[in-house]
Amino acid sequence: MPTQSLQGLIETKQSFLCVGLDLDPAKLPAGLKPTPADMLAFNKAIIEATLPYAVAYKVNTAFYEAMGAAGWALLEQTRSLLPASVYTIADAKRGDIGNTARQYARAFLSVLDFDALTVNPYMGIDTLEPYLREPKGDIFVLACTSNPGFADFEGLKTEKGTYLYEEVVLRSEALQQSGRVHYVAGATRPEMLGNVRKLAPGATLLVPGVGAQGGDLASCFAAGYTVGGPLLINASRSILYAGSGPDFAELAAKEAAQMAHEMGVMLASL
Amino acid sequence: MPTQSLQGLIETKQSFLCVGLDLDPAKLPAGLKPTPADMLAFNKAIIEATLPYAVAYKVNTAFYEAMGAAGWALLEQTRSLLPASVYTIADAKRGDIGNTARQYARAFLSVLDFDALTVNPYMGIDTLEPYLREPKGDIFVLACTSNPGFADFEGLKTEKGTYLYEEVVLRSEALQQSGRVHYVAGATRPEMLGNVRKLAPGATLLVPGVGAQGGDLASCFAAGYTVGGPLLINASRSILYAGSGPDFAELAAKEAAQMAHEMGVMLASL
């Protein structure tokens, strides 16, 4: 558990930056090899360099799973590098029935001890409940994402005239008495992010898609940041691979500092 | 890759049984401890006992992830126990954008070398395409599942009057020129399984929910099995935990044999 609430962390650091640790062995800076030791050293350097500017870290599990059991060990070791002074998210997008969801809940919220897990709502609300039966841990329910394929299903209109992603938020809010339900809303569609905020005024919105995917920080802030409902803006590639030489950590820090500075200005305007 | 096509395996064994290796350390038979060695021995005994009756094995990754890096190693070792004479499915229900989906595709279809992976379509068709860019491997797209929460989203009506799960199948079939797109359709709603079959005449339907969840084999067969479009009926707990004593493997074989016998009678009626 983080030593402060996420709101407290944001107030202290005047930042709502989440750094995404999407570890790609093919993109390591010059001088680092795709060995477990070097990759862990890379993550450590990135975490240390960005810690003054980030309130949260998101670990994309796919990049670790692609390396097999050694990758899973690296995921565990990376989790251990994250201090209690930040909020930690496993970006695993799990979704399955009760019996199986309980295993995922245990894997990420207890065994790996993340503060939160991203989950996929497609199979229904009963597949979200098992996470909330763990002693602690938040869920970030996928609402509307930043990819073009958004329109296929998330953006489909229901017979009620609502969009599917709005139904997802409406129905997931039935679990909100727990205070542990939050949402993923992509940066590339600020108007939809604003719709999610209206339906879930007290939730934290995890926002991927700023930077490499073309989303805009100021538009997202205007659409969805409120005093009682923060955003977490995630940046992965733009920070991790800001440099490709031995100064990669310095350049990552510079990129994170720039984003946090912009965020601080926005927070001051609230 | 299996030595025969799935259709060939079904014809040879006169069975369309898939055994789900949902390894639960809390349910091991008397005499086996929840150690990696004993759990692997349990899987090995189950696989050997059921091999004459099963054409496919499905490994539910959640149960392995819940055990951390040791669990992932057990997943790899369990995969190695599965012979080339059966079709192998990683039931991981992954779903993410291109960059990340490529990592999942690599993890399950190349590194772990499964013949197929279950995937979640919520984020859109562009999140399914990366799997088909791997040199080999099928996907089973979640359509309609066997849990009560089905109605929340999968069973929502769109403004066109279709159900969401039908839209999932309709749009996923646009990738069917690959011949690698199949669907998950739960056993508890045979009429919906029949709808999936109509929309995807040549796909294999992976059907969980017979047994513990209350689905009925004969109704599923009638609703969705055709000469060109087989079903794979999955059974997990009813086989794995058929016995709780030292004769667990014998009882698992008996349960699998009974199911395969019923399937053989049905196949003969086609």
- Could you tell me the CATH number of the domain that includes residue B175? 3.20.20.70
Count the domains in chain B: 1
Residue B54 lies in a domain: yes
- Per-residue confidence band for B1, with pLDDT thresholds at 50, 70 and 90: low
Instruction: Report percent pLDDT > 70 for chain B.
Output: 99
For residues B6-32, give the mean pLDDT. 96
Enumerate the residues of chain B whose CB falls inside 8 A of the CB of residue A159.
156-159, 161
For residues B138-158, give the mean pLDDT. 97
Residue B219 lies in a domain: yes
pLDDT of residue A200: 98
Residue B243 lies in a domain: yes
What radius of gyration do chain A's Cα atoms show?
Answer: 18
DSSP secondary structure string, chain A?
A: --SS-HHHHHHHHT--EEEE----GGGPPTT--SSHHHHHHHHHHHHHHHTTTEEEEEEEHHHHHTTHHHHHHHHHHHHHHS-TTSEEEEEEEE---HHHHHHHHIIIIIIS--SEEEE--TT-GGGTHHHHTSSS-EEEEEEE-SSGGGGGTTTPBBTTS-BHHHHHHHHHGGGGGGS-EEEEE-TT-HHHHHHHHHH-TTS-EEE--BSTT-B-HHHHHHHH--SSS-EEEEE-HHHHTS-SSTTHHHHHHHHHHHHHHHHHHHHHT-
Across the interface, of B95, B98, B126, the residue whose CB is closest to A120 is B95
What are the average pLDDT values for consecutive 10-residue runs of chain A, which has 270 residues?
86 97 95 96 98 98 94 97 97 94 95 97 98 96 96 97 98 97 96 97 96 86 96 96 96 98 96
Instruction: Please say whether the beta carbons of A183 and A140 come within 8 A.
Output: yes
Cross-chain residue pair B62–A167, CB shorter than 8 Å: no
Residue B178 DSSP one-character state: G
Q: Which of B58, B93, B136, B157 is catalytic?
A: B93
Residue B1 lies in a domain: no
Shortest CA gap B103–chain A (Å): 5
- Whole-model pTM above 0.80? yes
A72 Cβ under 8 Å from any chain B Cβ: yes
Residue B128 lies in a domain: yes
Residue B239 lies in a domain: yes
Domain enclosing residue A135, as ranges: 6-268
For residues B157-164, give the mean pLDDT. 98
Q: What is the pLDDT of residues B79-123, one digit of tens each?
A: 999 999 999 999 999 999 988 999 999 999 999 999 999 999 999
Cross-chain residue pair B111–A167, CB shorter than 8 Å: no
Residue B36 lies in a domain: yes
- Per-residue confidence band for B4, with pLDDT thresholds at 50, 70 and 90: confident
ipTM of model over 0.85: yes
Enumerate the residues of chain A whose CB falls inside 8 A of the CB of residue B151.
124
Cross-chain residue pair B106–A66, CB shorter than 8 Å: yes
Instruction: Please say whether the beta carbons of A69 and B73 come within 8 A.
Output: yes
Residue A1 lies in a domain: no
Q: Which residue, among B149, B190, B141, B145, has the nearest Cα to B169 in the 3D structure?
A: B141
Interface test with B, best of A103, A129, A157 (most B CBs within 10 A): A103
Buried b (16+ CB within 10 A) or exposed e, B238-251: bbbbbbeeeebbeb
pLDDT of residue B3: 75
Kindly report the backbone phi and psi dihedral angles of residue B253, in degrees, each rounded to the nearest multiple of 5, phi listed first. -60, -40
A40 Cβ under 8 Å from any chain B Cβ: no
